[in-house]
Structure 1
Amino acid sequence: MNQIEILKYLEEQKTTRTITDLIVHCTATKPGAKVNVDVIDGWHKERGFKKQPQSGRICGYHFVVLPDGTIETGRYLSEIGAHVSGQNSRSIGICYVGGLDANGKAADTRTPEQKEALIWLLSRLVVMFPDATIKGHRDYSPDLNGDGIIEPWEFVKECPCFNAAIEYSNI
């Protein structure tokens, strides 16, 4: 969808869910991987996720940002996501395609178009959900040493392969 279509979509979305978190993810795919919401629907169906009654989607994310900056919609905002165990009922999941380098190692592979689209989308979601904080999936890893800081060695996943909380702190 283009920005005008996404704005219209956001205006139409109504939810009574209390949203406290906007959680950024990556697909953990190498550059050039042909991934979109339909592909993720298939992945998540294989993992046992259920088709949603309103959107008809299985994809656990609410938005997917393609390498060219196109934003695709997954689950409706009124539908609980399936992207971070224990956090789904109060969050919105936003996923960019990428996250692995050509060798399969975790890397920030966002294209300039994805970076721009993520900022644009998150800026609109913060207006809709002003009490929400922006974090990455990795920020929900357990604090294994109990020091109040989730350090890189404690990450269950490296997703989204950059520090979303810091990068988007000005939004």
Structure 2
Amino acid sequence: MRQIYELVLHCSATPEGRDYTVDDITRWHKARGFDTIGYHYVVYRNGEVHVGRPEYVQGAHVRGHNRNSIGVCYIGGCAEDGKTPKDTRTPEQKEALTKLLRGLRRKYPEAKIFGHRDFDKHKACPSFDASGEYKDL
């Protein structure tokens, strides 16, 4: 079993109001040379949580931190122009993310919650301060 110390939140960096799936992200990641989707979980706009990679498989979502982390991605993160970072989480996504992260924290009590941008200052992902918002989970 992998030792998990970080739960890293991402956005799909897609335009607000548009739906994308695990299959879409898998295609994008394979086009970049990944074996499959890099995230362990993807939260759709309607709040559904879908599995990407199994938790026991190392992710491919944040350089230098994949070995001991779980990657969670929500669909959205950009304004309608598809470029400007924006917190586009729906109420359903916010509820699902809180529930998912709370469950992961119970499973991995040593894990701290971060946003991708906490590890890469050139990224806005996930378009909000995840470590601050979820610090009390």
TM-score range, shorter chain: over 0.9
Name the structure 2 match of 1:77: 55
Matching of residue 169 in structure 1 with residue 135 in structure 2: yes
The residue correspondences of 1:141-160 to structure 2 (distance < 5 A) are: 141=120, 155-160=121-126
The residue correspondences of 1:13-162 to structure 2 (distance < 5 A) are: 16-50=1-35, 58-103=36-81, 104-141=83-120, 155-162=121-128
**TM-score for the superposition, normalised by structure 1:** 0.78
Q: Distance in 2 between matches of 1:33 and 1:79?
A: 29
Q: Which runs of 5+ in 1 are unaligned?
A: 1-15, 51-57, 142-154
Deviations 1:99-143 (A, max 9, x none): 0011231000000000000000000000000000000000002xx
Structure with bigger helix share is 1
**TM-score for the superposition, normalised by structure 2:** 0.97
Q: Distance in 1 between matches of 2:27 and 2:73?
A: 15
Structure 1 residue 30, shift from structure 2 partner: 0.3
Moved over 2 A (4+): none
Q: Distance in 2 between matches of 1:80 and 1:32?
A: 30
Count of residues in correspondence between the two structures: 136
Deviations 1:62-111 (A, max 9, x none): 00000000000000000000000110010000000000011231000000
Secondary structure of the residue aligned to 1:110 is coil
Q: Which runs of 5+ in 2 are unaligned?
A: none
**Greater length-normalized contact order (CA 8 Å, ≥ 6 residues apart):** 2
Give 1 or 2 for the bigger CA radius of gyration: 1
Q: Which amino acid is 2:124 matched to?
A: E
Question: Which one is further off, 100-109 or 63-72?
Answer: 100-109
Q: Percent identity?
A: 49
Structure 1 residue 36, shift from structure 2 partner: 1.0
Q: Distance in 2 between matches of 1:73 and 1:159?
A: 20
Q: Aligned Cα RMSD in Å? A: 0.7
Q: Which amino acid is 2:59 matched to?
A: G
Structure 1 residue 34, shift from structure 2 partner: 2.8
Contact 2:19–2:44 (Cα < 8 Å) also in 1? no
